[in-house]
Amino acid sequence: MKNLFVGSALLAAALSMSACSTLRGAAIGGAGGAGVAAATGGSVEKGAAVGGTAGAVVGTVAD
């Protein structure tokens, strides 16, 4: 599980340098969703998927 968080953090950092708000939102949302799911005892994969989808929508609207 630690590798998932490290990978998510690296992905979020890499995409935050990108100009595309949709990808940046998806990466940040995915990492946040995985963290919340892990903290509450839920499925990390499902949390990352839901967070990534929500982040992409917010990134698209903000772009």
More confident residue, 12 or 1: 12
Could you tell me if residue 41 is left (phi over 0), alpha (psi between -120 and 50 degrees) or otherwise beta? left
pLDDT-derived band at 1, boundaries 50, 70, 90: low
Query: Is 36 exposed, middle or buried, given 0-12, 13-18 or 19+ CB atoms closer than 10 A?
Result: middle
Name the residue ranges covered by the structural domains of the chain.
19-62
Asked whether the beta carbons of 24 and 15 are under 8 A apart, the reply is yes
pLDDT tens track for 9-53: 666 665 555 557 777 788 888 888 888 888 888 888 888 888 888
